[in-house]
A and B are shown apart, each in its own frame.
Chain A
């Protein structure tokens, strides 16, 4: 699904010192399955995710998605990809404060037909009770908000779900549950989970370890086994 070639991302270009958030590596990601990206804080995990999802453009190198070089496509096409092909769970949940849990899921829906039924199913499977559908984010716990954000990411059946620390606000049981849902979604789609919590990545299809802007190791399921 993704072919990353010699990707580098440099911040603070003006200063004398260059900061390599990504330091020129190659990476290939499958069409489906769950991919964990782990590494310490500041190692470049989020930056990589933003580059893959068209939110950021790498300083050098290329990202090829389904044969398309993301650098050469128009802004409109990038927006279309984010709207239709990708789903996002951001590090902070970014729910719209005045909307109910339900509306926060629906706001991302490209097709409103049957969307509320689908949203209700997602929310329930994520452990949000029906009586909480009408609550605003301020009345929900951090973990509940995060799960609403996950439902929002999946509402359009995206080909790729990008999840940045999706379990950070969750207790162990809920974290496990969320991973189970993401895994079942990953049966025929690609789910990229960024985390520094290795324990949730047991049984993932692929683990990418990052260290200081580089990939220090890649483990595939077959190899682990």
Chain B
């Protein structure tokens, strides 16, 4: 009867060595996943603001050139302003008629601050009339989960993540460090877009914009400008998906993804080197054992197969234990740190899992070098005894 050499014998008889190897391996996997989880919590939250929200709303504050108006063509400044406002209104009416445009309003907007574990975004919150707010939050499928809808000037509805993130209280001041005691939190809303909205309270110097709620087929301001023959240059003040995408790619992706990749690379190189060093000495200690196997008739192939089975068992145990520890820690951190900070944690990050798996496969691949070298150095005992 043909059989292979048992791989569990070594593991059973060298529990300490194998345990250390498995645990070291498990911890490395865990660290990589947890660091990624914390950093990506920032990324995931910023993604909502920068990539999801602009799919539903955009802001434009166009110059007279965009409308084809030149102040020099007018006798007085008043005439010019009148014509300008008339054109803006006309254009807004045309926008309302477009497929995909749900709501258009000339309004002030204020800044909303939201901090990640690293970095911070400041984004737009429009100030609308009381009657308009219901429609606005419906556009985002947002639900009031606490407090009440805005009634008084300066009342603000705050997204639940922002609410947690900035430690707001219902009835407390909103963005006090920016606007003093102008705005108050009146309610908390929940949506997939992290939007806030409120009612104006006098004039804020955050400027006036055309707030445009959109849906497919409109994805950015360019889609509107093309249909209405607006003359849009690079310098126009437009805040839309296009604008945010550049911001996201430049700031978030570059800083978080690249630092994440560097961490993974460093940890992986460290892991690879230590695993390979450990394995080389592990194999070297066992050459005479392999020589015995070869002498009593096991082929090099079956010895190699045994080495690989041992390796796979150790790696698999490391992966399983690492995944379990990582799972527990990630769930714990999500409940105790990420959610209380109003951040969005991605518990299952397939992208990161595939990166870790790729790295492990690379390490197993690299380990073939010492394994094959060891196999080739196997001699039968007649050669050793001389």
Contacts and interface: CB of A to CB of B under 8 A. Distances in A.
Interface residues of A, number: 29
Nearest to A81: B297
B382 A94 contact: no
Nearest to A87: B296
Nearest to B13: A98
Interface string B1-26: 11101100110011000000000000
Nearest to B12: A103
Contact of B381 (A86, A90, A96, A99): A90
Interface in B62-86: none
A46 B382 contact: yes
B182 interface: no
B87 to A, nearest CB: 88
A79 B303 CA distance: 12
A55 interface: yes
Contacts of B296: 82-83, 88, 108
A27 interface: no
A97 B1 CA distance: 26
Q: Is the interface of A mostly helix, strand, loop or mixed?
A: loop
A46 B297 contact: no
Nearest to B14: A98
B contact residues, range: 20 to 34
A84 interface: yes
Interface string B150-177: 0000000000000000000000000000
B385 A103 contact: no
A103 B13 contact: yes
B381 A111 contact: no
Contacts of A107: 5-6, 9, 293
A82 B297 contact: yes
Given A50-B382, A81-B297, A110-B3, A94 B9 contact: no
Contact of A79 (B6, B14, B299): B299
B292 A96 contact: yes
B299 A55 contact: no
Contacts of A131: none
A82 B298 CA distance: 8
A59 interface: no
B9 A103 contact: yes
B385 A96 contact: no
B295 A82 contact: yes
Interface in A116-144: none
Contact of A110 (B2, B289, B293, B380): B2
12 contacts: A46-B385, A55-B381, A79-B298, A84-B297, A88-B296, A90-B385, A94-B292, A103-B13, A107-B9, A110-B1, A110-B3, A111-B3
Task: In the A-B complex, list the 7 residue pairs whose CB atoms are closest, starting with the nearest.
Answer: A83-B297, A82-B297, A50-B382, A55-B382, A98-B13, A79-B297, A94-B292
Interface of B: 1-3, 5-6, 9-10, 13-14, 288-289, 291-293, 295-299, 380-382, 385
